[in-house]
Structure 1
Amino acid sequence: MNVHDILQNPDEHVRFAAYLDKLGHVGDPDEVDLVSRVLADPDRTMAQSAVLRHLDRRAAGLHPGPAYEEWAQTMTQATTDHPFLAQRLREWSLFRAVTLKLPWQPGDLLASSNWLQLRTATGTNTEAVEILAEAGRTKRIRNAARAGRTHRSSNEARL
């Protein structure tokens, strides 16, 4: 089934599932075109949701490696007219910087979404976890960071 066939189905749930399937199997050379075509769906919310899942899946797999940078730039161009998706890609890049201990700014982390703060609060970057334990946006984020900090301290004490 191609994207044109998917668009012919009036049920957005069926289209969503079909898009996820297509995005899950797309090759690198065709990814930008497919993302653009999905984002052209008349149901903008559903289309962005499908692409968001795709971006999260791909970024999670790519962020530790060198291929991430080029992929993120390409996807940023493909999602430029979709602020939420572009923001998620920026946050994945910040998450990458924090987890790989590349340069990053504490203010960027504190200004980020709950999604990124919570993801980072359970990570291994001590500086980021400390920042979020003290100034994370929500009680849940602060508690997650404090729990991670306590867990890490008890593990270090055992060593």
Structure 2
Amino acid sequence: MVGTDEEAVPEEHRRYWKYQQDLAAVDDRAEPALVATVLRDPDKVMAEAAISGHFDKRAPQLMQLGSAHFDQWATTMSPLIADHELPTRRLQEWTLLKSIILGHNWTPEEVVAASDWFQRRAVDLLIDADALGLLADQGRTRRVRSAADRKLRRREARLD
């Protein structure tokens, strides 16, 4: 925290940033224990935010390594986060994104019911015309619908 008065920063903020640093540097074998430790923090909201932020960095890295790496990680993380709503939902939504990206099974109902976060992220990451079309028609917000529609139009223009 360069340029800040350390004592002026609330303790939970300092712990959050420390957790973010530790999670970014953790190796695969030690990750489950660290996730469990973070989730035992007395500030449940901060702890869940730290883990969700970690998942937002870790999931895309694992997807690049392939479905098996991601699935193994998700299987390991699931019981650790089972009692924590935000990280559980985030892991479910990353799993849905992975399914769409890799052409695995997914349903329109899952995409429409997903959070605003998921729908915004999906528009950024997806190239699947069916999923983008669904978001252009039934996205939760005008922002999502417009972005999905623009992306579909650019995709169609490239295909012409």
1:36-88 deviation per Cα after TM superposition (whole angstroms, max 9, x unaligned):
11111111111111111111111011124120001011111110110111111
What is the alpha-carbon distance in structure 2 between the residues aligned to residue 143 and residue 95 of structure 1? 19
1:81-109 deviation per Cα after TM superposition (whole angstroms, max 9, x unaligned):
10111111010010001111111111111
What is the alpha-carbon distance in structure 2 between the residues aligned to residue 34 and residue 133 of structure 1? 39
- Match of residue 140, structure 2, among 131, 137, 140: 137
What is the alpha-carbon distance in structure 2 between the residues aligned to residue 57 and residue 121 of structure 1? 17
Q: Secondary structure at 1:29's aligned position in 2?
A: coil
TM superposition score normalised by structure 2: 0.88
Show the counterpart of 1:47: 47
Runs of 4+ in 1 over 4 A off after TM superposition: none
CA RMSD of aligned residues (A): 1.2
Q: How many residues align structurally?
A: 148
What is the alpha-carbon distance in structure 2 between the residues aligned to residue 23 and residue 118 of structure 1? 24
Deviation at 1:121, TM superposition (A): 2.3
Is the aligned partner of 1:127 residue 2:142?
no
- Match of residue 102, structure 1, among 104, 122, 138: 104
Q: Which consecutive residues of structure 1, in runs of 5 or more, have no partner in the other structure? A: 1-9
Q: Which consecutive residues of structure 2, in runs of 5 or more, have no partner in the other structure? A: 1-9
TM superposition score normalised by structure 1: 0.89
